[in-house]
Amino acid sequence: MTTAVFLFGRLMDDALRAAVLGGDLPVQPAELPGHALCAPATLAGGAGLRPASGTHVAGGLVQLAAPALARLDRYLGLRAMRDLLLTVTTAKGEISARAYAPSGDGTGPWAFADWQARHSAVERLAWDEMQTLARTHPPEPLQARYPMALAHAASRLRAEAEPQPASLRGAWGRGDIRPLRETRPYAWYFAVAEDDLQFRQFDGGWSNEVKRAAFVMSDAVTVLPYDPARDAVMLVEQFRYGPWIRGAQNAWSLEPIAGRVDPGETPPEAALREAQEEARLTLAPEALLPIGNCYPSPGAVTEFLYQYVVLCDLPDGAEGVAGLDGEAEDIRSHILPFDRLMALVEAGEVQNGPLLLSTYWLAANRARLRQDA
């Protein structure tokens, strides 16, 4: 017994559909009249449905047996979805079929070619992670993990594509590590990876089998706004869980603007978005100055930082409290002279690594930036 399912949007990508359904199953062209594709308000890259007279949604009809239907339900269950019963049109006439659409209203048009260029590889890689986690984790952690799985997948693709200079360090490659056993003991918004492996040693041999664990995160950006005319910077202040768990008496941290790079987004795009969200600053892309990319703690954390100083105007009154309510952000911004920032560093009040690095970079380049301005 099979179930007729109408697929549209992202599942019209052949590679993603085969990965989700467990094989390259036959797809019959079909149309859903009276509807159009739209982009949902959450999880950028998806495709929703909205009523639209005089138009139709092009898709495909598949007949799914129970195993493939279960895989599809698992994939679509990672998001808040509506399970619909619709009438679609095929070359053989009208057919009643199940369809899945994101919950909530759409926000503008959705284009398959744009999604495929920016999101398809990320979706496939994130789905691979979900399949692995599903062997040992129930659905609820997978649903919580999925947005970060997409961000982690995008981070992995960036890491694979970026140049890896090796003028001093050895010209090592992925083949110089032997993965032996992989486990994922914890998965929620963040995750923990634990592997048994061997790595190539400097004498050419292999290490003993070792166990390593890492906190799985995604790429992020930091942005330190600097007004060269006023010789002033903007910092943000917010509660941080890490100092609290460490036992610090004061768990509020002075930092640059910072945030995750979303799937389908470039690091510069993320920097501009985060500046608007955290400090209500609208910045010019050409004003972003890259100051170095780094792993803050490569022994046990996968996070990779793209760090910027940005040249901008910081007028009086630009401070305030901002942040996204949906992420419980309560972020206060401060505008202060550069000399005050250096005094805070020397007094030990600045304890955030990216802010320290950004401050020292600015100290080394400040005279040039002021002269150019």
pLDDT of residue 233: 97
My answer on whether 22 and 105 are in the same domain is yes
- Measured CA to CA, the distance from residue 307 to residue 357 in angstroms comes to 9
pLDDT of residue 322: 75
197, 276, 368 from 179: Cα distances, Å = 5, 42, 48
> Is residue 235 in some structural domain?
yes
Which H or E element spans position 121? helix 112-134
Expressed as residue numbers, the domain containing 75 is 3-110
- Measured CA to CA, the distance from residue 330 to residue 317 in angstroms comes to 18
What CATH number is attached to the domain comprising 89? 3.10.490.10
The encoded tokens of residue 55 equal 């138009």
- Measured CA to CA, the distance from residue 373 to residue 358 in angstroms comes to 19
Residue type, 278: E
**Beta strands at 220-227 and 305-311: parallel, antiparallel or unpaired:** parallel
Domain count, the chain: 3
Cross-strand pairs, 6: 61
Q: How many CA atoms lie within 13 A of 356 on its CB side?
A: 11
Residue type, 358: S
My answer on whether 257 and 306 are in the same domain is yes
3-state secondary structure of 180: strand
CB 262 within 8 A of CB 43: no
Residue type, 203: D
pTM (2 d.p.)? 0.91
My answer on whether 153 and 84 are in the same domain is no
> Is residue 115 in some structural domain?
no
> Is residue 169 in some structural domain?
no
- Measured CA to CA, the distance from residue 322 to residue 313 in angstroms comes to 18
The pLDDT profile of the chain, 373 residues, written as one tens digit per residue, is: 899 999 999 999 999 999 999 999 999 999 999 999 998 765 556 788 888 899 999 999 999 999 999 999 999 989 888 899 999 999 999 999 999 988 876 768 888 999 999 999 999 999 999 999 999 999 999 999 999 999 999 999 999 999 999 999 999 999 999 999 999 999 999 999 999 999 999 999 999 999 999 999 999 999 999 999 999 999 999 999 999 999 999 999 999 999 999 998 999 999 999 999 988 899 999 999 999 999 999 999 999 999 999 999 998 887 878 777 777 778 899 999 999 999 999 999 999 999 999 999 999 999 999 998 8
Tell me, rounded to whole angstroms, the distance of Cα 143 from its chain centroid: 15
My answer on whether 275 and 358 are in the same domain is yes
The encoded tokens of residue 146 equal 């999925």
My answer on whether 267 and 352 are in the same domain is yes
> Is residue 167 in some structural domain?
no
My answer on whether 36 and 86 are in the same domain is yes
What CATH number is attached to the domain comprising 332? 3.90.79.10
> Is residue 317 in some structural domain?
yes
The encoded tokens of residue 274 equal 């985060």
pLDDT of residue 238: 95
- Measured CA to CA, the distance from residue 304 to residue 113 in angstroms comes to 29
